[in-house]
Amino acid sequence: MSLILASASPRRKELLAEIAKFTVEVSRFEEKANGLSAEDTAAYFAEGKAKEVLSRFPDSLVLGADTVVSLDGEILGKPKNKEHAAQMLRALSGRRHEVITGVCLTGRGFCKTRTVKTQVEFFPLDEELIARYCASGLPMDKAGAYGIQDGYPLVKEFIGSYTNVVGLPVDEVRELLRCVKC
């Protein structure tokens, strides 16, 4: 049975390539949170993406994933523009937040969904660093307007999975894939 990643994320592709062979089919699932908690949103979106791709490739295994950043219970999505990215980074500056990734592995007759949480604390960020980072364009396709892997001194510490913050909790995905073989 072939594995399909239901995501266009280059970070997810890179991380999954470390543990499995797969193809990519971008999901057409429409992401509408409808007032769910951050954890439920990540799980709902991951499952929705995976099931949408499975509907087109019913004889495959499909992995869907979605990452959300939650600050004080509010979900920070992807920034609309550089000003919005700067606003998010100011809100995260010097504070702790959660990064939650939902992963869903589905195939004919089964669907397993998990969420992984990582606590992340930012350094206090000055306006010059925020401006430089936003000008780089790096925040634009990332939840919460940042990537832990981007090489900027944003993250003071994290508690939990590094790969979760990047966008795919590799250990948990490996375990889901192992369970399919059980």
Domains and CATH numbers, the chain: 3-181 (3.90.950.10)
114-131 pLDDT, tens digit per residue, is 999 999 999 999 999 999
The DSSP secondary structure of 112-129, one letter per residue, reads: EEEEEEEEEEEPP--HHH
Q: What pLDDT score does 1 carry? A: 76
Catalytic entry in 40, 59, 66, 141: 66
How large is the average pLDDT for residues 57-78? 95
131-167 pLDDT, tens digit per residue, is 999 999 999 989 999 999 998 999 999 999 999 999 9
Residue 175 neighbours by CB under 8 Å, 6+ apart: none
How large is the average pLDDT for residues 65-73? 96
State the pLDDT confidence band at 65, using cuts at 50, 70 and 90: very high
Distance from C-alpha of 1 to C-alpha of 6, rounded to nearest angstrom:
15
* pLDDT for 34 beyond 80: no
Overall pTM > 0.85? yes
State the pLDDT confidence band at 182, using cuts at 50, 70 and 90: very low
Q: What pLDDT score does 181 carry? A: 61
Q: Specify whether 66 is catalytic.
A: yes
Helices (H), the chain: 10-17, 38-56, 82-92, 127-136, 162-166, 170-181
